């Protein structure tokens, strides 16, 4: 007896999004090849590969990824890799990165929630039941863990390959115990910093004209984790009421992958 997963009807909106995004990425790929920008070529190839993952997991794991979630995942990948990196939206639009990290927190919480929801609804584990609050907590923790791991990755890329994934910020006030003239543990504050001057090994100096002190990614990392926290909390609350009122949460159902029901026996 073999159980086969049912083939759901193709969503026209999803099919259009797939086609439009792939067509756009291929166009960008060709342009970057002519420009001999091979780093961008790699990002385009990576994007096309990432586009295949939702369908791959559906077929191999018999997991039904809701169309709404799949569309958002595709748009997220395109916004991060093509618009963010190649089109430099991270620089052009200051809140582009913030928006994506918030959405990432929301989506990762949905995935984390689905993992425990599938376990909780498994008939083979009928004696194993998780409360809605516990499931929401697991979803939140899963999302935050993914966010932290991503920041580890960004930091590693910056340290070893000097990519500046953790974007710098210009601030005008700093406070550090390293500035304590007594060598103690008293933080010394410096206000109204106007510029950063680089002193080279040969004694020459280069003013950067930044208008302040150059923070090397700390504020960006904390901002990313905070907006990830917001996204995770929002979905965790939605997931809590979804389980609390099982079958009535139509909105949450659009974002929670679930195991496909067997179509029949052969």
Predicted pLDDT of residue 216: 87
Q: Percent of the chain, pLDDT > 70?
A: 90
Tell me the Cα Rg of the chain: 24
The DSSP string of 9-56 is PPPHHHHHHHHHHHHHHHHHHHHHHHTT-HHHHHHHHHHHHHHHHHHH
Q: Tell me, what's the pLDDT at 10?
A: 61
Q: What is the DSSP string of 144-160?
A: HHHHHHHHHHHHHHHHH
Look at residue 120 in the predicted model and tell me its pLDDT: 76
How much is the average pLDDT of 258-264?
68
Least confident of 199-203, 227-231, 250-254: 250-254
User: pLDDT-derived band of residue 266, with 50, 70 and 90 as boundaries?
Assistant: very low
pLDDT at 2 over 50: no
Q: Please classify residue 12 by burial: count the beta carbons closer than 10 Å to its beta carbon, then call 0-12 exposed, 13-18 middle and 19+ buried.
A: exposed
**Residues whose CB is less than 8 angstroms from the CB of residue 256 and which lie 6 or more positions away in sequence, other chains included:** 66, 69, 110, 113, 114, 117, 239, 242
This prediction has a pTM of 0.88
Determine which of 8-22, 102-116, 184-198, 207-221 has the lowest per-residue pLDDT on average.
8-22
Q: Is the CB of residue 58 less than 8 Å from the CB of residue 65?
A: yes
For the beta carbon of residue 8, count every other beta carbon within 10 angstroms: 10
Q: What is the pLDDT of residue 251?
A: 86
The pLDDT mean for the chain works out to 89
């Amino acid at each position: 007896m073999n159980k086969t997963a049912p083939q759901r009807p193709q969503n026209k909106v999803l099919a259009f999004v797939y086609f439009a995004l792939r067509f756009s990425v291929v166009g960008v790929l060709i342009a970057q090849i002519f420009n001999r920008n091979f780093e961008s070529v790699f990002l385009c190839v990576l994007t096309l590969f990432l586009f295949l993952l939702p369908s791959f997991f559906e077929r191999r794991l018999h997991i039904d990824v809701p169309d709404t979630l799949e569309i958002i995942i595709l748009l997220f990948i395109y916004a991060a890799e093509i618009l963010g990196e190649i089109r430099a939206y991270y620089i052009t639009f200051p809140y582009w990165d913030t928006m994506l990290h918030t959405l990432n927190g929301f989506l990762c919480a949905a995935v984390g929630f689905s993992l425990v929801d599938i376990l909780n609804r498994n008939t083979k584990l009928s004696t194993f039941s998780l409360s809605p609050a516990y499931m929401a907590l697991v979803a939140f923790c899963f999302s935050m863990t993914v966010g932290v791991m991503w920041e580890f990755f960004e930091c590693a890329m910056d340290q070893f390959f000097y990519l500046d994934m953790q974007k710098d910020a210009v601030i005008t006030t700093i406070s550090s115990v390293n500035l304590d003239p007594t060598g103690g543990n008293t933080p010394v504050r410096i206000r109204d910093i106007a510029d950063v001057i680089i002193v080279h090994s040969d004694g020459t100096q280069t003013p950067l004209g930044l208008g302040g002190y150059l923070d090397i990614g700390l504020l960006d990392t904390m901002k990313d984790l905070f907006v990830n926290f917001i996204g995770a909390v929002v979905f965790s609350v939605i997931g809590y009421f979804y389980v609390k009122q099982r079958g009535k949460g139509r909105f949450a159902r659009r974002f929670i992958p679930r195991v496909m029901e067997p179509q029949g026996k052969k």
